Structure 1
Amino acid sequence: MKRNSIALSGMTRYMVKLSTESKDAREKQLEEGYINDPPPPYEVT
């Protein structure tokens, strides 16, 4: 049980890192004139 929660918190940190990178990339695109948002990384298969 404990191992699962550790893996889950690691995964959550990873997701936060991905979404933060995605947000930065999106802001850079907006500055460069792109309007389309990239899909969230967790929906990519």
Structure 2
Amino acid sequence: MRKEEHLDTTKLRADDTLILALGYRYYGIDIFVPIPVFLTKQMVITLPD
């Protein structure tokens, strides 16, 4: 339940064109990769509850 609420806060005014920045370290280098919101939604939905 809380996860869904978190998704709602993440959406904000999310459109298909809105992009979220996913940051991760690659050999000690900070890299930010833009990922469409719908992809992140599918990923979250794919994760087991």
Q: TM-score, normalised by structure 1?
A: 0.35
Q: TM-score, normalised by structure 2?
A: 0.33
Say which structure, 1 or 2, has more relative contact order (CA 8 Å, 6+ apart).
1
Structure exhibiting the larger radius of gyration computed from Cα positions:
1
Structure (1/2) with the larger helix percentage: 1
